[in-house]
Amino acid sequence: MHDPARPAPWTQGRPERDKAALYDDLARELDALLSGETDAIANAANAAAAIYHALPQLNWAGFYFLRDDELVVGPFQGLPACVRIPLGKGVCGSAAAQRRSVMVPDVEAFPGHIACDSASRSELVVPLFAGETLLGVLDLDSPVLARFDKADQAGCELLAQVIGRHIGAL
Ligand code: SME
């Protein structure tokens, strides 16, 4: 099992400037993993597992899907999470309401942060679209302060594009 306190093998010894290339590789791997399967839950589950095990220093990785006017937890890796998040609430609800990524270097400094795992220190949430339609969000939590940077945001937005293409039938 991946130890979130240790860097994943694919980052070891690699300079930060390689991050974009590493997300490109992960995006290609996800595309291959999800291709040929049309079941949205199956693809979201495999995507959450692939991301959780590929990216270092995560304690939660998964999805919240838009159901009417709230987000409902979907497939994920990590500790059990709060099930329903109203639009506009918490980091996930803010990202969904604004239809843009929200990066939080210190969750304790984010007003309204919803604590599901007390180990979480930083968070990155990116919206998930099928075309123009908002499907929900991809949520990554880390036990490390300021774990995510602009390269992670751009990389995760790329991953979300790939995933959105494969779970559009949700
Ligand atoms: N922290 C999130 C809630 C979801 S958990 O992190 C899995 C938020 O504030 O929206």
Name the DSSP letter for residue 101.
Answer: -
Name the DSSP letter for residue 3.
Answer: -
Q: What three-state secondary structure class fits 161?
A: helix
Q: Minimal CA–CA distance to 107: which of 93, 98, 118?
A: 118
Q: Which helix (H) or strand (E) holds 9?
A: none
Rounded CA gap, 170 and 165, in Å? 11
Ligand 1 atom nearest residue 60's Cα: 7
Give the Å distance between the CA of 139 and the centre of ligand 1.
7
- What are the structure tokens assigned to 112, written together? 């309204």
- Please list, in sequence order, all residues whose beta carbon lies within 8 angstroms of the beta carbon of residue 104, skipping any fewer than 6 positions away: 91, 110, 113, 122, 123, 124
Rounded CA gap, 102 and 89, in Å? 12
Band of pLDDT at residue 9, cut at 50, 70 and 90: very low
137: phi then psi, degrees, rounded to nearest 5: -140, 155
For a mutational test of ligand 1's pocket, the pick from 141, 142, 148, i.e. the residue with the most ligand atoms closer than 8 A to its C-beta, is: 141
With tokens 């049309």, the residue in question is 38
141 C-beta closer than 6 A to ligand 1: yes
Ligand 1 atom nearest residue 110's Cα: 9
164 C-beta closer than 6 A to ligand 1: no
Strand partners, 77: 61
Domains by residue range for the chain, with CATH: 16-166 (3.30.450.40)
With tokens 């945001």, the residue in question is 153
Q: What three-state secondary structure class fits 105?
A: coil
Band of pLDDT at residue 18, cut at 50, 70 and 90: confident
Q: How many CA atoms lie within 13 A of 162 on its CB side?
A: 24
Contact 79, 60 (CB under 8 A): yes
Res 124 pLDDT > 50: yes
pLDDT confidence of residue 168: 78
Q: For residue range 21-57, what is the model confidence (pLDDT) as tens digits?
A: 989 999 999 999 999 899 999 999 999 999 999 999 9
For a mutational test of ligand 1's pocket, the pick from 82, 83, 103, 126, i.e. the residue with the most ligand atoms closer than 8 A to its C-beta, is: 82
Res 6 pLDDT > 70: no
Contact 75, 48 (CB under 8 A): yes
